[in-house]
Structure 1
Amino acid sequence: MQQSRTQLDATDRALLTALQKNAQATAQDLSESLNLSASQIGRRRQRLEESGLIQGYRARLDPARLGLDVQAFIQVQLASHGAQQGASFTRLLTTRSEITSAWTMTGEADYLLRVYCPDLAALNRLIHDVLLAHPSVSRVHSQIVMDQPKKDAPLPVD
């Protein structure tokens, strides 16, 4: 079920853009850049949080400094497409910290996984010992990221 779209004015959009750039900005910092009082900024931010438009705040970490030197995208094709197989595979995804995001897809692959591993051996173990070992999986295709010329960007709100 799709959520209804939240109505935003220009100030809401500017606030969301600023928060995506720096979620730690104080109401005072934001008030100066958006030409509103800190209390107005605080009320707007709270309304956007309560509406579910702002889902949370998190730190963006440097994978290389954590020793996660291999990033890959893995396409997974299931052997069959029953509800039980899909649920079983989805449960597997939630147990593996190296799988940082997953999407269900149209086309040849059923899932697209984004993974971070310390090295190629760990990626190999994930593919062979975890993904291919799952009874619902018939095929995987991996692509190792060589470089990321555009980092994960904020959502366009304007």
Structure 2
Amino acid sequence: MDAKDYQIIDALQQDGRLSNQDLSAKVALSPSPCLRRVRLLEEAGIIAGYTAVVDQKRLGLSVTAFVQVKLERHGDAAVNQFEEAIEALPNVMDCWLMTGEADYLLRVVAKDLDEFESFIRSHLQKVPGIASISSSFAYGRVKRSRVLPLG
């Protein structure tokens, strides 16, 4: 990767809907080489996809909880079973493998506390191999960025 690739990535992180014409002007390349570079970045998996950033509260998902999960066992089978189960739960937005007291940290969204409770009781507590679950609720967001620092 060179400086132009970083410029392309930065521009697309700021606005993933840029046309190739606008992107090429922004990074000072002609359209054809610019498109070729974007395709190479996509093929290499550096650009993993494009998505719309949606306001969760305007969709009625006003609760964000961070859920710490400890497993009973840490063997390959137990870990794989847990991770596969988490993949299937749409309320889980992120799942991080952690060091420290918890094995996993989940970011879970719900429309309200009743829905969150239902998610815990009906879904998460039924995942085999969980030793403990601890939740903290976010009451405000200070910063949200989807733009990786490239400098």
State whether structure 2 residue 42 is matched by structure 1 residue 49. yes
Q: Does residue 13 of the first structure (1) align with residue 29 of the second (2)?
A: no
Give 1:135 shift.
2.9
Indicate yes or no: 2:54 matched with 1:73: no
1:153 aligns with 2:142: no
Query: Matched residue of 2:109: which SS?
Result: strand
Q: Normalised by the size of structure 2, how large is the TM-score? A: 0.94
* Structure 2: distance between partners of 1:27 and 1:99: 34
Deviation at 1:14, TM superposition (A): 0.8
- Is 2:28 the partner of 1:38? no
Query: Normalization by structure 1: what TM-score?
Result: 0.90
Aligned residues, how many?
151
Any stretches of 5+ residues in structure 2 without a counterpart? none
| Cα displacement string for residues 69-108 of structure 1 (whole angstroms, at most 9, x for unaligned residues) | 1011111001121222111111211111000111111111
Asked if the contact 1:68/1:117 (under 8 Å) is kept, the reply is: yes
Q: Does 1:141 align with 2:139?
A: no
Gaps of 5+ in 1: 1-7
Q: Secondary structure at the match of 1:157?
A: coil
* Residues 132 and 138, structure 1, Cα contact 8 Å, conserved in 2: no
